[in-house]
Structure 1
């Protein structure tokens, strides 16, 4: 925003706290909190607060607040804003956020408001964020609202977003928390949150308590899609959640608003175990999203981002389940995305009956990659105009005959294991 700074009269009157950030009390309180000194915090809250529900200002960067304040340089340049940060809280919010149960009990016994939220979050929200089950139990016993939403539109259950918060979630549900309550902005249920973060025990709890398994959020994602797209935990956690959801009847081919399916997300995130699980559930391996993107394209576009996860396993699995290969005219684009992973280039090359290698494709590959994989690309570009071997032509004919059943039928053939591997494109980057 440009122009001159606003007049002081145009700034809304800020909330006046009982204890300002500049006070000696708040300074001492912040020091004690930073050092984790529970006794010092308790002593301060017992002896120096004005009343049990006093509003405490922990932070305020409003440069307009004091007439004598030094104006920041960005304001002098005309890059001013009406927004600033003011962090307000209460003694009960502070103690519950840090898990100081005895101090919270002291405040509640003196009738502290268990639902007060001057900073946007109530003591119950703060306790759930920290995974402090004893504080959650205490607050609920003193009448805290298990379904109260924060200023951000999240219920206490939505703040149970760590493995350590499982007991908090159990207590909330025992005291009437709505398991299918959605957030205001994204329409996520607690099951969506658990799936996004790889929280298996939370997901099991919510399903036992009646969570709707295919409920969609604002983006049209179900919990299964959320788990396939999740980035917070390890892949095994997401695998177990997806296995649980599928076992409970989740639709493996559900579409979001962009017509993306769980398989698209799993491929884009490089989660090969999830891809295998979804393929075993008979999903459509050639389903396109709204932009016409295939799961194989998702895997190729993100392959170098997930090179540590061996994305070639995903590409091979998709091809062995009948994925349509990239049209030959677009192979140069594939090199642009995947040139640093010759195993993938070899897989794709071996999935064609023949492919006319073009020397101009070298322009899509950086010099650094060429040097790193010099042997492979020297061999690759030497194939220009060459004829594929009879062995490869037989492999192609057999794979085309089996189609999407390659993964299932080839291992049943009475042939040696090395030949089965050859037919399944397990050849460690060989251009055969």
Structure 2
């Protein structure tokens, strides 16, 4: 029987459901526990906490989306049990009371069992208690997710450890994307979870339904600064365990393609040092360098100029000269990106027509750089730059390794490695 057909013991309109919902909304944990332990008639009762099935109630006030015609045949209905509520709220004493009275640890009228709820909330003591009373460690929810798939926060590490101790599988795929627990850890930047799963035999290069490995997944979510440090540790861990730095997903995107979108430069550097191919093309014909240029203007926090340097210093092909005008148009608000790319050519013909694609406010904001760019149109590049290009051509894709070995001041080494200066010479 589906949840839509289930007749709850305590429907939404019942007195107990009303009082329980009020206590939950008020975060009155003592009252919640008291209601579950003293007023529910039997331990596996089905309680309805939400139901917006307006189609079955002509008197119901319709939501705005329905009035606008954006209606759907699906609706939200929340069915649960006392055990499910107690596990979700972390009420260990209440949970123990219900289990001692014979509550079913796997009851899931709403699609998720109590163990799922405990893991989602990161309540280790509740998860351990449920497992000790026979909860199935690999029970699937209505969405096809095992409890390990719901260990999505740092607080859930203890839950994951308890699940594995009781026989949960690190290889089980779940959900529409067929993710493994390692994929979930990668999505959430949970390096300790990933280490735990790898220690229990998780396959580091297992693929999900989109053809992604955990490394690919992690590189695709490293966007916000607060996520970055954890993501970098996680990716380093996966690479240490043999993750393929060039594994392609269903769109032929490598982890490096994803790291060159919005992530800070350290991630691209890590992948390149582990052999990622800077010249790889996805199905759309985009290279990692192309990904940097596509997102440079909208990701200034990611320091795209430094990611670009890493790629060029590891042998990435540059942009076809005739396409530089398109790059200028896309990346005009990020002049450091323009500078690094421009300096990767010995000589590039500058046209006065380029000024037309630079918005006036951008030109004025970065006036010294753009003035130096158009000054190059009237003569050749300086001898120092031409020497830089000759050395870089000789070193090729080993620039990142060989330049620091040269007996030169750090400033000159940085110059050879395309460190932006703010103006062109």
TM-score, normalization by structure 1:
0.93
Is the contact between residue 270 and residue 302 of structure 1 (CA under 8 Å) also seen in structure 2? Answer: no
Aligned residue in 2 for 1:194: 185
**Structure 1 stretches (4+) deviating beyond 6 angstroms?**
none
Q: Does 1:332 align with 2:312?
A: no
Alpha-carbon distance in 2 for matches of 1:319, 1:281: 16
1:205–1:353 CA distance, 2 compared to 1 (3 A): same
Deviation (angstroms), 1:331: 1.2
Q: Distance in 2 between matches of 1:227 and 1:245?
A: 10
Which residue does the alignment assign to 1:130? 121
For residues 36-68 of structure 1, the C-alpha deviation after alignment (integer angstroms, 9 at most, x for no partner) is 222211221223223211111111111133344
1:70–1:259: structure 2 CA closer, same or farther, 3 Å change rule? closer
| Map of 1:65 onto structure 2 | 56
For the 8 Å contact 2:4–2:77, the answer to whether it is kept is no
| Structure 1: tracts of 5 or more residues without a match | 1-11
**Superimposed CA distance per residue, residues 84-131 of structure 1 (whole angstroms, 9 cap, x where no aligned partner):** 211111111001000001111111111111111111100000000000
- Given that 1:195 and 1:227 are in contact with CA atoms closer than 8 Å, whether structure 2 keeps it comes out as yes
In structure 1, the partner of 2:371 is 378
Aligned length: 421
State the distance in 2 between where 1:266 and 1:306 align: 12
Aligned to 2:9: 18
Distance in 2 separating the partners of 1:67 and 1:117: 30
> Is 2:196 the counterpart of 1:205?
yes
Whole-angstrom CA distance in 2 between matches of 1:13 and 1:131: 28
Pick from 353, 357, 360 the counterpart of residue 350 of structure 2: 357
Question: Does the Cα contact within 8 Å between 1:270 and 1:299 map onto a contact in 2?
Answer: no
The offset of 1:414, in angstroms, is 2.1
2:297 aligns with: 304
Does residue 45 (structure 1) correspond to residue 27 (structure 2)? The answer is: no
SS across alignment from 2:279 = coil
TM-score, normalised to structure 2's length? 0.94
What does residue 399 of structure 2 align with? 406
| Bigger Cα displacement from structure 2, 253-262 vs 133-142 | 253-262
C-alpha separation in 2, matches of 1:184 and 1:356 = 53
Is the partner of 1:221 in helix, strand or coil?
coil
Deviation at 1:417, TM superposition (A): 2.5
- 2:72 paired with 1:89: no
| C-alpha distance in 1 between matches for 2:264 and 2:298 | 12
Alignment of 1:313 onto 2:306: yes
SS of 1:268's partner is: coil
Number of the residue aligned with 1:348: 341
The answer as to 2:237 corresponding to 1:244 is yes
Work out whether residues 23 and 31 of structure 2, in 8 Å CA contact, stay in contact via their aligned partners in 1.
yes
Q: Decide which of 144, 149, 161 is 2:135's aligned counterpart.
A: 144
Contact 2:228 2:263 in 1 (8 A): no
The equivalent position to 1:108 in structure 2, one of 87, 90, 99, is 99
Aligned to 1:8: none
Instruction: For 2:415 and 2:71, locate their aligned partners in 1 and report how far apart those are by CA, in whole Å.
Output: 65
User: Which of 396, 409, 412 is matched with 2:389 structurally?
Assistant: 396
Alpha-carbon distance in structure 2 between the residues aligned to 1:314 and 1:71: 51
The answer to whether the Cα contact below 8 Å between 1:344 and 1:429 also exists between their aligned partners in 2 is no
Q: State the secondary structure of the residue aligned to 2:201.
A: coil
The answer as to whether partners of 2:373 and 2:423 remain within 8 angstroms in 1 is no
User: Alpha-carbon deviations, 1:206-243, whole Å to 9, x = none?
Assistant: 01100011111111111111111124762221111111
CA distance in 2, matches of 1:236, 1:149: 32
| Compared CA separation, residues 119 and 362, structure 1 to 2 (3 A) | farther
RMSD: 1.9
User: Aligned pair in 2 of structure 1 residues 392, 143: CA closer, same or farther (>3 Å)?
Assistant: same
1:384 aligns to what SS in structure 2? helix
Which is worse superposed, 19-28 or 171-180?
19-28
State the distance in 2 between where 1:223 and 1:78 align: 40
Instruction: Give the 3 Å change call, closer, same or farther, for CA 78–347 of structure 1 in structure 2.
Output: closer
Paired residue secondary structure (1:58): strand
Q: CA deviation at 1:182?
A: 0.5
